[in-house]
Copies of this chain bind each other. A is one copy, B any other.
Amino acid sequence: MHNIYNQGLDKVAANSQPLTPINFLNRTADVYPDKVAIIHGDQQFTYREYRQNVRRLASALIQRGVKTGDTVSIIAANIPAFLDAHYGVPLTGAVLNSINIRLDAQAIAFILDHSECDVLLTDTAFAPTVKKALALCTRAPLVIDIDDDIECEDAERIGELEYQDLLTEGDENFQGNLIHDEWQALALNYTSGTTGNPKGVVYSHRGAYLNAVGNNMIWPLASDSVYLWTLPMFHCNGWCFPWTVVAMAGTHVCLRQVEVNAIVTSLIEHNVSHFCGAPIVLNMILNADSELLDRIPRGINIMTAGAPPPATVIKGMEAHGFDITQGYGLTEVYGPCVVSEWKSQWDELTDDERAALKARQGVRYPTQEEVDVLDPQTMLPVAADAETVGEIMFRGNTTMKGYLKNDTATVEAFKHGWFHSGDLAVKHPDGFIEIRDRSKDIIISGGENISSVEVEGVLYQHPAVMEAAVVARKDEKWGESPCAFVTLKADKDASEREIIEFCREHMANFKAPKTIVFSELPKTSTGKVQKFILREKVKQLSEV
């Protein structure tokens, strides 16, 4: 077919370069060399220094044998070395594998083996567990201790050398190994996998570049933005914000402990404009000392994801002047790529109406080509009636390359040309998605589906409830019934009967929990309640 545009218009170096987030640091260090890139306690690094450290890291790793396609793992709190690694490791052509700091030795050993880890950067704060993991592991990676100046004195060293010594081996002007293909792997993040072994989710340079840009389109930052690291960087690469913040020339504020006083102090001291976190972090702030709360400047932007935030938490935080955006996503789609985008006409609604709208997961990022709620049998979109439940599916450039060394799981996840999230949701008439539950979290009682999320939302409205999580309990009559695990506020009290009554008043009777267990909630490091542990507890209850 005659097509005049198919001749003499090929890709050449001048017009075609791989998309990679590494370029954001180069650009920002060129334009803002003297701007503070990273604050960590009393330490500060300008963008010039940040890039120098990144280049030293890449150069030193290459000298020690790291090459394209190798795996460099890191176990660390949200400290500067972790930000370095987000650029320095990909600059070698290797893949950054960020490991959850709360994992036990066995799980870490599995990841080091499965990822064929070549180099491990390990925060000395986690040395005891990591040491055990290395003993369990069949590989012997090069181990580098990161001896963070803050709060880690006298920690044991388990590695061959310390991070700062590694940096001194490197060249601060090193240009790095060029990325020739934007599809090249950039990062490897293991899912928390409640059953079986975790799966290794692989990100590409292209996907990370686009998600970093997409973050900014739905939640804008600017060169005067100050971003506080409440969200763990090992969680979907801090949802790609190590790249977004740099692209926009903002300032990173590190945070070793995700603890309420440290958070609030940082918000005030560093004039923080943005932070991210699971709803649990919001709840933590909301229940902080009220004198402390009142000192936080109004207008701070929060992006929350990881679990659906109860409407009461959103309402409470907004009353304190925070501006909350809710996102939804999974490790497999680079963190959130659905956002509860706010429409100005909603400003006029009541607090309750606004909180209910904000609690919906929302619409796709401009950078994720398609997100829809499909019937997994027919692969057709469900009716946008806020009632018909389907599975949330994704298709676009911010979906993972696949699961590492797990073709079966990759093929299964991508069947019919979509990524299957496993999350159940309805679609509202305006196209906004609202999660009903993870497939496995739905409670089926007397043939009726009960959303644990919905029951939790009602529980959070009870004035004495601090936290709540609902799972299915075997029930002779109904098959399953909702069982709620509840923590009460320090100064409040409520009985099981009172809480059940409250639920029956605020929702269909069959959805109200039949059992209330007063107990601390087991959580992952990112604040997600570990429902598989609660399910185990429920089994024990049933057996009594």
Contact = CB atoms under 8 A, between A and B. Distances in A.
Say which size band chain A's interface belongs to.
35 or more
Contact of A247 (B19, B220, B366, B414): B366
Interface string A201-216: 0100001001001001
A274 to B, nearest CB: 14
Contacts of A41: none
B3 A69 contact: yes
A223 interface: yes
Interface stretch (A58-66, A351-359, A396-404, A448-456): A396-404
B397 A4 contact: no
A212 to B, nearest CB: 10
Interface stretch (A25-33, A161-169, A261-269, A287-295): A25-33
B406 A31 contact: no
Interface in A386-404: 394-397, 399-402, 404
Contacts of A414: 12-15
A217 interface: yes
Contact of A31 (B7, B95, B363, B395): B363
A17 B368 CA distance: 9
Given A213-B213, A222-B220, A1 B69 contact: yes
A357 to B, nearest CB: 13
Interface string A10-24: 111111110100011
A29 to B, nearest CB: 10
Main secondary structure of the interface of A (DSSP, over half): loop
Contact of A13 (B15, B222, B417): B417
Contact of A183 (B3, B11, B400): B11
Given A3-B68, A366-B27, A217 B8 contact: no
Contacts of A183: 11, 16
B402 A369 contact: no
A399 B31 contact: no
Nearest to A32: B343
A459 B267 CA distance: 50
Nearest to A31: B363
Interface in A413-461: 413-414, 417-419, 431
A407 B7 CA distance: 9
Contact of A405 (B7, B364, B413): B7
Contacts of A9: 185, 202, 401-402, 404, 410
B369 A8 contact: no
A116 B3 CA distance: 10
A332 to B, nearest CB: 9
A505 interface: no
A224 B217 CA distance: 13
B394 A14 contact: yes
A72 to B, nearest CB: 13
B417 A14 contact: yes
Interface string A92-112: 000100000000000000000
A224 B220 CA distance: 14
Contacts of A17: 369-370, 395-397
A540 interface: no
A2 interface: yes
Nearest to A419: B14
Nearest to A393: B14
Contacts of A217: 213, 216, 247-248
Contacts of A115: 4
Nearest to A420: B14
A202 B366 contact: no
A15 B69 contact: no
A31 B431 contact: yes
A6 interface: yes
A147 interface: no
A184 to B, nearest CB: 8
Given A17-B395, A23-B369, A220-B220, A402 B69 contact: no
A341 interface: yes
A344 interface: yes
Q: Which 6 A-B pairs have the closest CB atoms?
A: A3-B69, A13-B417, A5-B185, A9-B401, A15-B399, A17-B369
Contacts of A12: 414, 417
